[in-house]
Structure 1
Amino acid sequence: MSLNNQVLDKPISAELPYVEANLSYLIPTAEKPVNYTYEPPAGIPRTNATYQTHKLPIYNARSISENISLDREGFAFTGHNTNVRNFYDEDEVRRVYYPEAEQLLKEVTGGTKVVIFDHTLRNAGNSKPGENNIKEPAKRVHNDFTAKSGYTRARLELAARGIDDDGIETLLKQRFAIINVWRAIATPIQESPLALCDAQSIAVISLVQYNRKEQFY
């Protein structure tokens, strides 16, 4: 995501308590950004993007969580108890947490169909690129999808579940959303906490789609 001056003038609240933090924003460029999520081949940089740091306030929105909406701000807070004992157990996450997340999203959104398609573990201390699936915290401001790439990913995931082209087109003519469910797997979080941006404060021109080079195990 780039820091663009064309933003909407409607933040959640300027009255909330906040801390200041340095956030790294992509510097706009004519070349499409490329980012390797693993160690790139010899002689190739991990990314061709350059970033600029801006000091910005990070507001604590928990006190107004009941007034925050997925439809308006683009994120929401909700309590959820899980039966998962070990989030580092791949089988347990898929067997236990995927159904939990599916039910949670149905309750939060009112949706009738939920497709869980992947998960990411982030832990700076345990991340070993090339050896495990644990990633370091994302240290730069970014958006995961654009309107275009959201449709592309939805088509791929629905096709992977055996839905034919006609069925996919019928589904995608209806309202749908790609939603990240984030949770702490050890509390309290002491380093690299998650910060989210009010969707109303972002101009569409600020959204950037990276060419992500990923490696799977």
Structure 2
Amino acid sequence: MGLPQPKIESLPFVTAELNYLAPIAGKPRTYAFDPPPGEPKTTVLPEPHEVPIFDARPIAGEISLDRVGFALIRHPTVVKNFYDDKEVRAVYYPAAEAFLKATLKADRVFIFDHTVRRRVEGAADVRGAGPRQPSTNVHVDQTERSGANRVREHLPDEAKELLKGRVQVINLWRPIRGPVRDTPLAMCDGQSVAPADLVSSDLIYPNRNGENYTVKYNPNHRWFYIPEMTADEALLLKCYDSATDGRTRFVPHTAFIDPTTPPDAPSRESIELRTLVFHRR
């Protein structure tokens, strides 16, 4: 069950514009490199909708990954420089892996990549050219197919056995500096998302094709954010779950422009780890 509507409606909220998927012909696709001549970089076109985005801090103790698909956690770190890839992999990865294994009571956690983001007004979002820009389209990082394929891609020798158990793709998202006032992250209550809202979209890389979900607008969606997140806080976001027993399996999310952000607020800086979480049946 999701959160009760009367309780949600009593929460503080902001009204902001979120970019859903506009109707297009054919399967949406995005190139992660310069596309072939005559091809657009992406066929994913935004369809903006103004929605209420509720402050989840007052109910943080009632939200969980399995119930709504995201959770606020306290997660201090000793990392000095999140822009140093070597330090992130040597210091942050093992600490995060141990933390997630204990917190989620998992048998195993495997971190397969990370992305650092810093908003730069007017700059293009270019892969491999320094920090990425915050993603401002409503999306889910994985699909039914690509979530399982992550196991086959990263742990090929063990994939057959691992896929017999429960597999989740969980993002660990945190501010690099806080409090975050600029382009915070909005998360949709997974129980308010209908299967038909999720549209499989191709992600085309030089050496492989992946998939994510772009998302169609549904007025039943319930959106939340955590205002002014600090550098000792983090969010867990569920991007895939092989369980089919009523748990939330996919959680749409996006950065958004908060209309209450002070004009002199520092630009948002954040890092997200993408992890495979395994439970034996």
Deviations 1:164-183 (A, max 9, x none): xxx32221111120000000
The letter of the residue matching 1:89 is: D
Structure 2 residue aligned with 1:124, among 119, 127, 133?
A: 119
Deviations 1:55-112 (A, max 9, x none): 0001110111111111110111100011110000000000011111101211221001
C-alpha separation between the residues in 1 aligned to 2:4 and 2:203?
32
Task: Judging by fraction of residues, say which structure has more strand.
Answer: 2
2:163 aligned residue: 172
Tell me, which stretches of 5 or more residues in structure 2 are unaligned? 208-281
Rounded to whole Å, the distance in 2 between the matches of 1:39 and 1:187 is 34
Aligned equivalent of 2:202: 211
Q: How many Å apart are 1:42 and its aligned residue?
A: 4.9
Q: CA deviation at 1:191?
A: 1.9
Alignment of 1:1-217 (within 5 A): 13-125=8-120, 129=126, 132-159=129-156, 163=157, 167-214=158-205
Distance change >3 Å, CA 103–CA 54, structure 1 → 2: same
Give the fraction of aligned pairs with identical amino acids, expressed as a percent: 42
Consecutive aligned runs of 4 or more in structure 1 exceeding 6 Å deviation = none
Count of matched residue pairs: 203
Please give the secondary structure, in 1, of the residue aligned with 2:17.
Answer: strand
Asked if the contact 1:35/1:48 (under 8 Å) is kept, the reply is yes
Name the stretch that deviates more: 85-94 or 123-132.
Answer: 123-132
Partner of 1:3: none
> Could you tell me which amino acid in structure 2 is paired with residue 62 of structure 1?
R
Distance 1:58 1:130, change over 3 A: closer
Structure 1: 5+ residue runs without aligned partners? 1-7
- Give the CA deviation at 1:128: 6.9
* Cα distance, 1:133 vs structure 2: 3.8
Instruction: Say which structure is richer in helix.
Output: 1
Q: CA deviation at 1:199?
A: 0.4
C-alpha separation in 1, matches of 2:159 and 2:54: 39
TM-score, normalised via structure 2 length: 0.66
Distance 1:78 1:171 in 2: 27
Between stretches 190-199 and 10-19, larger displacement belongs to: 10-19
Note closer, same or farther for the CA distance 1:10–1:169 as it changes in structure 2 (3 Å cut).
farther
| SS of alignment partner, residue 100 of structure 2 | helix
